[in-house]
Chains A and B, each alone.
Chain A
Amino acid sequence: DQQVKQNSPSLSVQEGRISILNCDYTNSMFDYFLWYKKYPAEGPTFLISISSIKDKNEDGRFTVFLNKSAKHLSLHIVPSQPGDSAVYFCAASDSTNFGNEKLTFGTGTRLTIIP
Chain B
Amino acid sequence: DAGVIQSPRHEVTEMGQEVTLRCKPISGHDYLFWYRQTMMRGLELLIYFNNNVPIDDSGMPEDRFSAKMPNASFSTLKIQPSEPRDSAVYFCASSNQNTIYFGEGSWLTVV
Contact = CB atoms under 8 A, between A and B. Distances in A.
Interface stretch (B14-22, B40-48, B70-78, B79-87): B40-48
Interface string B86-111: 00000101010111111111000000
Interface string A82-110: 00000001010000001111111111100
A39 to B, nearest CB: 10
Interface string B30-69: 0101010001111111001010000010000000000000
Contact of B31 (A2, A89, A91, A101): A101
B43 A89 contact: yes
Interface string A19-39: 000000000000000001000
B91 A43 contact: yes
Residue from the set A44, A98, A99 with the largest chain B CB neighbour count within 10 Å: A44
Contacts of A103: 45, 100
B48 A43 contact: no
B43 A101 contact: no
Given A43-B4, A43-B103, A43-B105, A105 B97 contact: no
B90 to A, nearest CB: 11
Contacts of B44: 105
A44 B105 CA distance: 9
A42 interface: yes
Contacts of B91: 43-44
Interface of B: 4, 31, 33, 35, 39-45, 48, 50, 56, 91, 93, 95, 97-105
26 contacts: A6-B42, A36-B102, A42-B105, A43-B4, A43-B102, A43-B103, A43-B104, A43-B105, A44-B43, A44-B91, A44-B102, A45-B101, A45-B102, A46-B99, A89-B42, A100-B98, A101-B31, A101-B95, A102-B45, A103-B100, A104-B45, A105-B44, A105-B45, A107-B40, A108-B42, A108-B43
The 5 closest A-B pairs by CB, nearest first: A43-B102, A107-B42, A105-B43, A46-B99, A101-B31
